[in-house]
Amino acid sequence: MLEKKHREKKHTEKKQTAKNLEDGDQAVLKVNIEQAGYDGQSDVIKQIQFEVRRGELVGLLGPNGAGKSTTIKSILGLLKDFKGEISFSGERKSYAYIPEQPILYDELTLWEHMEFAAAVYELDREVFLERAEELLQRFRLLDEKHNMPSNFSKGMQQKIMLILGFLNKPDVYIVDEPFIGLDPKAIKDFLNMLDDERKRGAGILMSTHVLDTAERICTSFVLLSGGRLVANGTLLDIQKQSGLPDAPLFDCFHSLL
Ligand SMILES: Nc1ncnc2c1ncn2[C@@H]1O[C@H](COP(=O)(O)OP(=O)(O)OP(=O)(O)O)[C@@H](O)[C@H]1O
């Protein structure tokens, strides 16, 4: 009986994936920042417009101080000084933010963090237990689930942020520099998970400095410099904009900057 239910569920999930991919050109996040900043400088970033569509992985790139974090903070609604419009338009209008620096509670175990996230997301108990098991296995933290993350290594703590982000299967992921601190196997697990989520129909915005990985995995790019949008589009678009056909992203990037 349970098996039949599971098979039916898998079938529904497959149909859902096909439908999601059919809807592939639908924007799940629209960013229109006229200007945003901080006390003392309210226009650190200006005129930044782009979209993230279903199934897309958009790389948010730019040198130190270009405005990537300020753009992410604007999207998350964390800035007082913000003019523009941010709209989420997926099925559930849900998003997960995976920060660069782990944010964890000292007094909660890994499992309690997951229970807490599930309660906030109002996840069905059965769905939560299934996803939690799968994610703990995927990121090889099953044996650690009743331990305190405050005693974990930096990379293990970062994996917890990934697990908490993936638990809710949102329409949009906003990921801030995920590659620093994760070991190569964890990076591969993370990229596989992102791939699965894209196939499901999620859109992903990911800021990073790791250009060769970005070039390999991103479907399009948003390039910032000095708080302005310098280029936006696929690798082909960026190559055209930089006048360097066939050049790697790294060269286009430097030419445009
Ligand atoms: N809390 C803050 N208060 C005032 N200015 C800030 C604050 N955070 C960032 N800035 C300024 O905003 C500008 C853009 O910084 P931001 O952190 O968005 O860049 P970034 O592209 O994320 O850089 P990095 O790659 O170094 O993380 C910088 O000039 C920075 O000094």
Cα atoms in the 13 Å half-sphere on the side-chain side of 142? 9
Which one, of 217, 250, 223, 252, lies nearest residue 57 by Cα? 217
The alpha carbon of 132 and the centre of ligand 1 are apart by a number of angstroms equal to 35
Ligand 1 within 6 A of CB of 208 = no
Predicted structure pTM score: 0.88
- Give me the interface pTM, i.e. the ipTM: 0.98
Ligand 1 within 6 A of CB of 65 = yes
User: Which is the closest atom of ligand 1 to the Cα of 224?
Assistant: 21
User: Which is the closest atom of ligand 1 to the Cα of 63?
Assistant: 25
CA-CA distances (angstroms) from residue 142 to 80, 90, 111, 155?
40, 31, 9, 15
Ligand 1 within 6 A of CB of 39 = no
Domain of 214, in residue numbers: 2-94+170-256
Q: Are residues 154 and 213 in the same domain?
A: no
Tell me the per-residue pLDDT of 157-194, one tens digit each, with 9 for 90 and over.
999 999 999 999 999 999 999 988 899 999 999 999 99
Spatial CB neighbours of 61, under 8 Å, sequence gap ≥ 6:
68, 207, 208, 209, 211, 214, 221, 222, 223, 224, 253
Q: Are residues 249 and 191 in the same domain?
A: yes
Q: Are residues 63 and 144 in the same domain?
A: no
Quote the distance between the C-alpha of residue 227 and its chain's center: 21
Last-in-domain residue among 168, 199, 217 = 168
Tell me the per-residue pLDDT of 124-155, one tens digit each, with 9 for 90 and over.
999 999 999 999 999 999 999 999 998 899 99
Tell me the per-residue pLDDT of 78-94, one tens digit each, with 9 for 90 and over.
999 999 999 998 777 89
Which residue has its alpha carbon closest to ligand 1 atom 18?
67
The alpha carbon of 100 and the centre of ligand 1 are apart by a number of angstroms equal to 14
E-assigned strand segments in the chain: 27-38, 41-53, 57-61, 81-88, 95-98, 172-176, 203-207, 220-225, 228-233
The alpha carbon of 25 and the centre of ligand 1 are apart by a number of angstroms equal to 32
Last-in-domain residue among 168, 187, 205 = 168
Residue pair 67/224 in contact (Cβ under 8 Å)? The answer is yes
Q: Are residues 46 and 152 in the same domain?
A: no
User: Which is the closest atom of ligand 1 to the Cα of 207?
Assistant: 22
Question: What's the angle, vertex CA 166, arms to CA 165 and CA 167, rounded to 5?
Answer: 95
Amino acid code (one letter) for 113: H
Q: Are residues 7 and 86 in the same domain?
A: yes
C-alpha–C-alpha distance, residues 197 and 110, integer Å: 23
The alpha carbon of 85 and the centre of ligand 1 are apart by a number of angstroms equal to 20
Which residue has its alpha carbon closest to ligand 1 atom 5?
38
Q: Are residues 163 and 188 in the same domain?
A: no
